[in-house]
Amino acid sequence: MFLPIFLFELKYRLRRPATWIYFGILLIMGALVTAAAGGIFGSGVNVSLSADGGHVKVNSPHSISGAIAVLSYFGLLITSAIMGNPVYRDFEHRTHSLFFTTPITKAGYLGGRFLGSFVICVLVFTGIALGVALGGVLPGVDATKFGPYHLSYYVWPYLLFVIPNVLFTGAVFFTLATLTRNILSTYIGSVLLLVAYLISQSFLRDLDNITLAAMLDAFGSGAIYYTTRYWTAAEKNTLLMPLSQYILLNRALWLGVAVALLAFCYARFQFSAFASDKAPSKKTRAAAALAEQVAAPMGGRLVLPRVTQFFTNEMNLRQFWSLTKLEFRGIVRSVYFVAIVGAGVLFLFVTGWQVGKVYDTTTYPVTNEMVALLSGTFSLFILIIITYYAGELVWRERDAGVAQITDSLPVPNWVPFLSKLTALGLVQVVLLAVVMVCGILLQTAKGYFKYEPGLYIQTLFGLRLVDYLLLCVLAMLVQVIVNNKYLGHFVMVIYYLTGIFQSQLGINHKLLDYGGSPSTPYSDMNGYGHFITGFTWFKLYWAAGALLLALAANIFWVRGTDSAFTRRQAEASRRWGRPAWTALALGLLVMLSAGSFIFYNTNIQNEYITPKAEEKQQLSYEQKYRRYKDMLQPRLVAVNLRTDLYPATRSVDIAGSFWLKNRNARALDSILISVPIGAKVRQLSIGQPAAKLLLNDSVLYTRFYRLARPLAPGDSVEMTATLHYGETGFPNSGSNTSIVENGIFMNSQAYLPGFGYREGAELSDDDVRKRNGLKPKDRQAPATDVKALQNMGLSQDADWIRFETVLSTSADQLAVAPGRLLKDWTKGDRRYFHYKMEQPMLNFYTFLSARYKVYKDQWVDSAGRRVVPIEIYYQPGHEYNLKRMAAATKASFAYYTKHFGPYQHTQVRILEFPKYQSFAQSFAGTIPFSESIGFIAKVDPNDPEDVDYPFYVTAHEIAHQWWGHQIAGANVQGETMLVETMAQYSALMVMKQEYGAHTMAKFLDYELNSYLNGRAFERKKEVPLSKVENQGYIHYRKGSVVMYALQDYIGEANVNKALHSFLEQHKFETAPYTTAPALVAEFRKVTPDSLQGLVTDMFDRITLYENRLTDASVKKLANGKFQVSLTVDSKKLVADSLGTERPAPLDDYLPVAVFPALGKDKKPVAPLLLTKRRFRAGTNKFEFIVNQEPAKVVVDPYHEFIDRVQKDNVKEVKL
């Protein structure tokens, strides 16, 4: 019985146009993403498959597998359409009574229908692979981005993922639709699958739930992630997805679930005409009872009371409201609404619980974080509801079969349409209220009671709601126009997808992006600030746009039974009357006037530049000015400014003198000046008599001056400049976040003139350079480049400068710049501060201003017999971690002055700045610190998982006063090792001192993981630490691991000795600047011969270890002690810049530790034994005696070596 049904299903499906349409859609999507990644769209468009790129080929097995996997997730919609249908359609078309009465078997019927559809579904999904393959051979793609083609690269992801996933999701949809006999249940199925997927995704970054996250996700993306997360370009280009433990377990689990579901479906399915034939439901019984109690006919006339009908506008409004209530109740009472919202709320709680995780440590659930996280999380569910219910609303009467009655009622057309739209809008209000309630509940559950209902309301009902309402109008219009519910849903999904690729499609101006507006970032310091203005104007513009859409929807609203398009047009023209003209005129008037005002703001008051045009500008800068790269230029030696900050108007005036000195051996006569972007130059002149302005390139912000007389070697000349900054109106995007009403944070490199050609302004990405006809560019010169040694990494136009400024701001704010505060005074409504540096500093300074409160502390320098005041300028309300930060500052000063040398300033200031950016940065004695990375961190001292990162970040930034502000490396490879790696090391040592060595494992685990992740996404080349080219994953992450290991191996004292000696030689030195090899040489001086190889592995090579504890056991000895035996498989590898590995001889001492059981508090414990043993390649066996009962044996317990699989370095042992 099976075969004929199966074959019929196949034939039926193959004849359906939908099958081929689905196939075509997937094929086109596959081809598009591949072609886009292959560069078919040219400049300005960057697309990569699964974040590959650089050296990873577009048709590498990893990229193909990623593209196929992601597109197959979108294919879920198709699976639900295909797999929900096979049995359901018999119910839908009422053919089930025909089929169920034929002598077919249940297995044959269900099996044939399921397998037939499943085969079709897989066939449809092959469209992806075909598209992905075809996309690579389209004309216009860059052939060099493609490697050799292998069929297996395309087939393997299908065997491993696509087919099992279709089987599983297909089983879900099939079972749901077959057993519930309701196609809507497949929607719920889709939503639940999505939520499970999202929840598992949210666990991915958490290092402690790896197996859970890999198993939870039915699509296997978690398993893929954990299997390939550390893959380098070389591996991505060549390896098929291995059958890792994660993948095997995941596949087995979900295939099992699929089979179980199908078995359940088989068991529960019955050949009966009704979903429940057993006992009539209460409802049916009641109806039967009612039918019987019908009274006898009345006889005589039907007498009805007279009524008055009103056909007034007021009555129409009442009808509108009555309908709105009915529609609203219809939505919120429907089981699907409750299910979707329920799933969303569940997801809200899962994500909301982990608010603001950094280093696995959450932040306080402050309202702005909560509301941003939750409304972002929930938006997906809101989109689903809008899309789905727009269709339901438009089709409600027709689906229920009452359309003919309601359509012939004496209500104007606008009443049904507008009431449905209003109901959908009201649903959005309800949904956002749900978000608000969840947020408050979460805050309460986390013991946080500083609710800010005003902020909730402002964010949810002031900002988000507007977007959703606009979307409601669009969704309704689409449903009305296409007049097919499912097609309408599909159109909306396409619309959402194009939203993602907007920039690629060339839609950059928000005037073209329906509902678009500039972003509205929030900061506790600055609220929504000035961003609201642009937002409001754009939303007004789009509200008028929505009015036009609503008008169109109303005009084309289907009323009556004839919905042929020509009829609808005729009907539309009949409906077009005075009110329509009025609405059209009003909509157009508002759109035009608001649009013009916006255009004036975005394109005339501000510069509007597309990514493409920006790329071209960078290109033209390089083409025009690179020839002056080696032109002799003077060096900046002194800056004296008068800086006036006007927070209320978001403007800044800078006037001052800049002394330039010719440090070259020859005289020079021309000066190339980079005017800061966005500056209005009121005045700029050089020398007496003034230099001649030869060229003023206002597009590329470059000026050329010819000095009146050449500047002789050793001579200086003064430049004076008056600059004005101020954003007039609002830009399309990227409104200035540095100059704001509360929380100005300006950086000299962005706001003050520079001298000479700026290599940093060139296009840097190799792919981008290539498509612009440029050669690839090195990130930094090698340490042997004599010319490059003349500049420090941080600024190329100055060495050490003298600095002084009189800084003013509004009377209610405090303003800070580097230097000692000589004087402060108030005059009128302005407050003045005079800062002056007591010794030269880097050409790198900052101005900050806000309504700060100041937390004061001090550090007593017993050696230098002085007191260094500590000031933390913070936003009132952010008191949480002030003490920690002050403690970190003191501990840092104590450690650094003792081991590295004296602190050069007379004070230190930490200043909070708005979270438009999230970093902390060290200027001379001045440390701006983002509100988002420490001020609101919630470090639970009792939670062993928490890392005290406010403490760590503070220690790191304080360390920069030595590493960065005393040692400035030359602008060559390895420069950031001198600055960032040493700051990491310093902070690690302070943390170790504060919290104990045994607490470092968690932190180093993070660093190691970040390094491994980072190298997987390297686009150009990975280099050893001593050659680092400003790569964060190397100088911070690998730097931490390496330096921690170094101090463990050669001793903290020896490392500090080397650092001290290095500082003594190089601090405040001028050109030629020092380099990383010089520091490595210092380390070698304090390293015994036996460990010189280790230093090479750490700094000069990319070294990887593969240690695996294969066996560990424990035995109690007669003397009461315990003998631990272990076997370790070991391997050492050396990788090249692309990640190609070759084995290296292993003969190193590696740390091995034996730990006791954890205490009740689960906090890290000190090991019973920590020793270093000699490891050789292959199998190593060790035996130890410990005094206490051991619980765990670990190789490399503190993550001092790079090992991609940490899990197998640990084994529990039991007696």
Partner 1 sequence: MALTITNLSKTYANGVQALKDVNLTIPTGMFGLLGPNGAGKSSLMRTIATLQDADSGSIMLDELDVLKDKDGVRRVLGYLPQEFGVYPRVSAEELLDHLAVLKGIGNSKQRKEIVESLLQQTNLWNARKKNLGGYSGGMKQRFGIAQALLGNPKLIIVDEPTAGLDPAERNRFHNLLSEIGEHIIIILSTHIVSDVTDLCRNMAIISQGQVRLTGDPLTVVEQLRGQVWRKLVDKDEVAGLQAEHHVISSRLFAGKTIVHVLSDSRPDGTFEEVNPDLEDVYFAQIAERKSAVLA
Interface residues toward partner 1, by CB under 8 A: 283-284, 286-288, 290-291, 293-295, 297-311, 314-315, 318-319, 322-323, 326, 330, 333, 400-402, 404-412, 415, 559-562, 564, 566-567, 570-571
Q: How far is the CB of 16 from partner 1 (least distance, A)?
A: 21
Looking at the Cβ atoms of 303 and 863, the one nearer to partner 1 is 303
Strands across the sheet containing 908-913:
853-861, 866-874, 908-913, 926-930
Closest CA to 420 of 319, 272, 539: 319
Q: Where are the alpha helices (DSSP H) in 900-981?
A: 949-959, 975-976
Residues 6+ apart with CB under 8 A from 100: 271, 272, 273
Q: What is the enclosing helix (H) or strand (E) of 1122?
A: strand 1122-1130
Min dist CB 302 to partner 1, Å, is 4
Nearer to partner 1, 143 or 307 (CB): 307
- How do beta strands 1192-1195 and 1210-1212 pair? antiparallel
Closest CA to 163 of 206, 193, 118: 118
Q: Three-class SS of residue 721?
A: strand
Nearer Cβ to partner 1 (76/323): 323
Q: Residue 284 CB, nearest distance to partner 1 (Å)?
A: 7
Kindly state the smallest distance separating residue 571's Cβ from partner 1, in Å: 7
Closest to partner 1 by CB, 278 or 306 = 306
C-beta closer to partner 1: residue 564 or 1117? 564
- Which residue, 556 or 951, has its beta carbon nearer to partner 1? 556
Nearest to 785 by CA among 1075, 1024, 1069, 1101: 1075
Q: What's the min distance (Å) between Cβ of 337 and partner 1?
A: 13
Spatial distance between the Cα atoms of 1180 and 1175, rounded to a whole number of angstroms: 6
Q: Closest approach of Cβ 333 to partner 1, in Å?
A: 7
Are β-strands 908-913 and 866-874 bridged in parallel, bridged antiparallel, or unpaired?
Answer: parallel
Query: Of 94 and 333, which has the nearer Cβ to partner 1?
Result: 333
- Report in angstroms how near the CB of residue 335 gets to partner 1 at its nearest: 10
Paired strand residues for 636: 660, 798
Least Cβ distance, residue 570 to partner 1 (angstroms)? 7
Shortest gap between Cβ of 648 and partner 1 (angstroms)?
54
Residue 324: CB minimum distance to partner 1, A: 11
User: Which residues, at least 6 apart from 772, have a Cβ–Cβ distance to it below 8 Å?
Assistant: 43, 615, 619, 763
Token digits of residue 677: 């972007």
Tell me the DSSP string of 808-845. EEETTSEEE-SSEEEEEEEETTEEEEEEE-SS-EES--
Nearer to partner 1, 562 or 879 (CB): 562
* C-beta closer to partner 1: residue 418 or 1004: 418
Q: What is the bridge-based pairing of β-strands 680-686 and 754-755?
A: unpaired
Mutual angle of helices 184-202 and 221-228, in 10-degree steps: 20
CB of 137 vs partner 1, minimal distance in Å: 43
Closer Cβ to partner 1, 311 or 449, answer by number: 311
Compare residues 284 and 498 and give the one whose CB is closer to partner 1: 284
User: Which CB atom, from 337 or from 803, has the smaller least distance to partner 1?
Assistant: 337
Contact call for residues 1162 and 1169 (beta carbons, < 8 A): no
Q: How far is the CB of 88 from partner 1 (least distance, A)?
A: 19
Dig out the tokens for 963 from the structure.
């590493």
Cα 1095 → chain centroid: 36
**How far is it, in rounded angstroms, from Cα 214 to Cα 227?**
9
Residue 752 DSSP code? S
1123 pairs with which residues across the strands?
A: 1115, 1185
In the chain, the amino acid numbered 898 is K
At residue 1128, the 3 state secondary structure works out as: strand
Distance in Å, CB of 277 to partner 1, minimum:
18
Q: What angle do CA 939, 945, 949 make, to 5 degrees?
A: 40
Shortest Cβ distance from residue 609 to partner 1 (Å)? 50
Rg (CA), the chain: 35
Which CB atom, from 305 or from 941, has the smaller least distance to partner 1?
305
CB 407 within 8 A of CB 562: no
CB-based burial label for 433 (10 Å; 0-12, 13-18, 19+): middle
Query: Can you tell me the distance from the alpha carbon of 732 to that of 1045, in angstroms, rounded to the nearest whole number?
Result: 49
What distance in Å separates the CA atoms of residue 467 and residue 549, rounded to the nearest whole number?
15
- Phi and psi of 67, rounded to 5°? -65, -45
Min dist CB 292 to partner 1, Å, is: 10
Q: How far is the CB of 484 from partner 1 (least distance, A)?
A: 15
Closest CB to partner 1 among 329 and 680?
A: 329
Judged by CB, which is closer to partner 1: 406, or 657? Answer: 406
The secondary structure of residue 1097, as a DSSP letter, is I
Torsion of CA 545, 549, 555, 558, to 10 degrees: -170
d(CA 834, CA 598): 40
> Which residue's CB is nearer to partner 1, number 314 or number 829?
314
CB atoms within 10 A of CB 754: 23
